Chain A
Amino acid sequence: MSFQPVHFYQTGTFTVGNRLLEASERSVQANIERTNSLNSGHRACQGCGEALGARYAIDAAMNAARGRLIAANATGCLEVFSTPYPETSWQIPWIHSLFGNTAAVATGIAAAIKVKKQKGQMGDVRVVAQGGDGGTTDIGFGCLSGMFERNDDVLYICYDNGGYMNTGVQRSSATPPAARTATTMPVGPEPGNQFGQGKFLPAIAMAHEIPYVATATVADLRDLEYKVTKAMGMRGARYIHILVPCPLGWGAASEDTILLARLAKETGIFPVFEAENGEITGNLKIRRKQPVEEYLKRQKRYAHLFGKKPAVATIARLQAAADKNIRKYGLLDQEAN
């Protein structure tokens, strides 16, 4: 049972809010009293998808936990731009971990809460761990896999922008094929990042058969909030992987952040789905299918694919990968074809 969109109240559930919906049907973000977990004054770039995704996700988690939430945060963009000493943008209990151990820190917090609850020293408080793709798929992967394997009571949220952006846009294992980064330059016979390497962590998380795994993007707020809320309603290890475009690292216009997230979903490049106990239980269908070029051409990290002699073969490989996602995750409605 995936997110059920409201089909017709002018903009249905496509927009952030909708004055025509009942209050209970509206989004957390539309609420004038939302937590604003990540407040103004942070130092993220203009149009930062991660800053947006983090507020969307943590506000929804705060709403689900009735304000009783602790967040552990791996080193990375999100930590750097939100908390340069002596300021912080966070308005929730928040702890900065090392780059690689945020899952373990969250595990420890969850264990401490469990003991304090048993001793009657505190009520229920929920734990969230968050990090970027570098801190999650590369450096923090061991701790994360352990957290999954032990089924610790933590919701881990990965904000995936496909690279180490705040240190100068280096490749991570979540950098997509053919993308240019500082360490995968567009030179040689196969310019940009290699095909056939890297990892898709949601699939690895599913292989741990943890209670809940989901992907989301900043372009589908209602789906994202639905997934965070659902995850917060469960216990054990849960994992949500959110695609957050990065204007700096992707070489995109700051106003295109949501558009790019939408195109990633609509092309099939980024599959949006959810899984329980290792089994896929729902997906967000493509509404207006687009060729991958629509997504690629708006980003300078793929500029070497276009130019005077377009890299037709490379674009075809990326299209094939998107088509495979569409087949594998059932992203197109049969009726729509």
Chain B
Amino acid sequence: MEKPFAITLDPGSSLANHTGSWRTSRPVYIDRLPPCNKQCPAGEDIQGWLFHAESGDYESAWRHLTKDNPFPAIMGRVCYHSCESVCNRGQIDEPVGINSVERFLGDEALKLGWKLTPPSSESGKNVLVVGAGPSGMSAAYHLRRLGHSVTVYEAGPLLGGMMRFGIPKYRLPRDILEAEMQRVVELGVKVNLNTKVDNILNTMADGKFDAAFLAVGAHIGKRARIPAGDAAKIVDAISLLRSMEGEEKPMLGRRVVVYGGGNTAIDVARTAKRMGAEPLIVYRRTRAAMPAHDFEMEEALQEGIMVKWLSTITQADESSLTIEKMALDETGFPQPTGEFETIEADSLVLALGQDVDLGLLEGVPGLEVKDGVVKVAPNMMTGHPGIFAGGDMVPAERNVTVGIGHGKQAARHIDAWLRGEEHVPAVQHEVANFEKLNTWYYADAPKTVRPMLDIIRRQSTFDEVQGGLDESTALFEARRCLSCGNCFECDNCYGVCPDNAVIKLGPGKRFQFNYDYCKGCGMCVAECPCGAIKMEAEEI
């Protein structure tokens, strides 16, 4: 080729030299499963919705979130956010405040009136949901989005189930609950309130339902055999919390003793405190052994609630209780000591767990009931074809998020079952654990703390205890996410390649390797902050 004076070589002519042939291993883009997503009982793609929130696109974040869970404003208040306890950021400074961002998104949606996406087509199938609690309403939502006609039968007078009749107002304001419930109803879900299902098979036959999802919850308070005088006032926790929702508030007196060590015991004690009583929790084991979440115990203690550890109640009388002190044996189990004391008490509230009312299942063939709950297969179907169940009435941890997760899973299986197919969940990616990350690249930023209500108002009113984040702090919090295992387009691979062997495809499209020139040095893998590239051996 003719070239001008002193020009000998064509620019970039080294492209003829395919250095990719040097390679013995190749980098490959992958998605790994972030620990938070793996942990979430509702199966939320937390990293996925935080990605949208990071850029301030809250509506996209909310839409991404509600693909899995239609109740972010409720979740942001009552979910125990076990996601945060496994967050990789916790090993750098503090976990990302996932729950507080979720609440911000939920509240933003309610404020701006964002609506859930209606189904794109109708399936013509008719599904019955029994129980309008978290699990039932989650199932109703997912089934409706899949195009099925959904009818919810609820024994109580209002939507929400345990979220209304079990969780006190100071944790979940009722306008929030109602708004998120109604948003599901607006999708075209039919609701029959005050309608108790006595016999599921009859109800299904009468309503021509093709399948049913049962989520009646566990509303019967467990009783303990405590010898009691005639005048002793003993109530169970769940009835007490339910009566808080009615016109006539319960009369408990001044000295209220709550027996139990679960979250419900704490809810009752904090409720009693707000009604002007002086609650005392009696629990037979120690704080370390109590099933209640430690942060709830901490909040209760801040509000001035007293606790008697290692104590059992042996006798209840009109205005006093007899308590026996316990001592832990070598195995950590509490044993009676024979040491007694008497304490004053106007009423005793038993918070010893709840049972399920399984009356509606009587006479249904194929069902298996064990330990008071209904057995279900991995596809959430009971032993009776077409009847699925979830929430507190099946064997699982009992909380709102687990129930919501059951509702989603069941909806997907019901949908497949109605088509005569089987829903096969996608294979999970390998987990993006801390060792897969290069944390050098993340800016230092400690967690944003949510505001708490003044202690005086917490002791005397039912105002919400925990506040929310405002826009700027929510954005800050979202941006603390490390995006574990999923490319967030930081351009590091594109930058650090000494061979320009990474092709940038543009916003939202991520990157591609140019294996003609990639020498397989592995720098992109080492310098990827979030562990979204791995090396694979070449076949030679």
Contact = CB atoms under 8 A, between A and B. Distances in A.
A12 B443 contact: yes
Given A87-B14, A221-B495, A41 B19 contact: yes
B336 to A, nearest CB: 55
Contact of B498 (A10, A14, A52, A221): A52
Contacts of B517: 40-41
A42 B17 CA distance: 7
Contact of B496 (A8, A16, A44): A16
Contacts of A41: 12, 14-19, 517
Contacts of B488: 10, 19
Contacts of B442: 10-11, 14
Contact of B500 (A14, A40, A90): A40
A32 interface: yes
Contacts of A15: 441, 490-492, 495, 529
A167 B499 CA distance: 22
A87 B477 CA distance: 51
Given A17-B491, A259-B526, A36 B13 contact: no
B10 A88 contact: yes
Interface stretch (B36-44, B120-128, B501-509): B501-509
Nearest to B507: A19
A236 to B, nearest CB: 27
Given A7-B443, A30-B491, A39-B14, A256 B519 contact: no
A11 B526 contact: no
Contacts of A19: 55, 488-490, 507
Given A16-B494, A255-B521, A42 B526 contact: no
A87 B9 CA distance: 6
B185 interface: no
Contacts of B476: 8
A207 B220 CA distance: 86
B473 to A, nearest CB: 12
A257 B519 CA distance: 14
A97 to B, nearest CB: 13
A36 B10 CA distance: 15
A88 B15 contact: no
Interface in A22-59: 27, 29-30, 32, 36, 38-44, 46-49, 51-52, 55
Contact of B445 (A8, A255, A258): A8
Nearest to A50: B498
Contacts of B498: 44, 47-49, 51-52, 55, 257
Interface string B508-523: 0000001011011111
Interface string B201-242: 000000000000000000000000000000000000000000
Contact of A258 (B14, B494, B496): B496
A15 B524 CA distance: 12
B479 A20 contact: yes
B523 A87 contact: no
A241 to B, nearest CB: 19
Nearest to A17: B491
Interface string A261-292: 01000000000000000000000000000000
B495 A255 contact: no
B479 to A, nearest CB: 4
A82 interface: yes
Interface in B324-359: none
B481 interface: yes
Nearest to A10: B479
B108 interface: no
A36 to B, nearest CB: 5
| Among A11, A43, A253: residue with most chain B CB under 10 A | A11
Nearest to B500: A40
Nearest to A254: B521
Given A20-B55, A48-B498, A221-B495, A43 B19 contact: yes
B5 interface: no
B479 A9 contact: yes
A90 B11 contact: yes
A89 B54 contact: no
B443 A30 contact: no
Nearest to A32: B504
Given A7-B443, A10-B443, A221-B495, A36 B500 contact: yes
State the main secondary structure of chain A at its contact with B: loop
Contacts of B481: 10
A27 B480 CA distance: 21
A94 B15 CA distance: 17
A18 interface: yes
A91 interface: yes
A188 interface: no
Contacts of A91: 11-12
A42 B500 CA distance: 10
B22 interface: yes
B525 interface: yes
A8 B472 CA distance: 12
Given A11-B442, A47-B522, A262-B440, A42 B492 contact: no
B527 interface: yes
Interface in A215-260: 221, 247, 253-259
A87 B525 CA distance: 29
A47 B520 CA distance: 8
B75 to A, nearest CB: 23
A256 B16 contact: no
Contacts of B55: 19-20
Contacts of A88: 9-14
B523 A257 contact: yes
Interface string B19-42: 100100000000000000000000
Nearest to A5: B443
Given A83-B9, A85-B9, A88-B11, A17 B443 contact: no
Contact of B9 (A8, A29, A86): A86
B499 A255 contact: no
Contact of A43 (B17, B504, B525): B17
Given A90-B11, A255-B522, A18 B490 contact: yes
A256 B522 CA distance: 8
Nearest to A41: B14
Contact of B520 (A17, A32, A46, A253): A46
A122 B275 CA distance: 88
Contact of B516 (A40, A89, A92): A40
A49 to B, nearest CB: 8
A86 B3 CA distance: 13
A40 B14 contact: yes
Nearest to B16: A87
Interface in B45-80: 54-55
B31 to A, nearest CB: 18
Contacts of B506: 32
A85 B14 CA distance: 10
Interface in A65-97: 82-83, 85-92
A16 B492 contact: yes
Leading 4 A-B pairs by shortest Cβ distance: A17-B491, A16-B495, A41-B14, A255-B522
8 contacts: A10-B483, A11-B441, A16-B492, A17-B495, A18-B490, A30-B494, A41-B17, A87-B13
Interface of B: 8-19, 22, 54-55, 440-443, 445, 476, 479-481, 483, 488-492, 494-501, 504, 506-507, 514, 516-517, 519-523, 525-527, 529
Given A8-B479, A10-B481, A87-B9, 17 more contacts: A10-B54, A10-B488, A14-B441, A15-B529, A17-B494, A18-B490, A19-B55, A29-B491, A29-B495, A41-B15, A42-B19, A42-B499, A47-B521, A48-B521, A87-B13, A247-B521, A258-B526
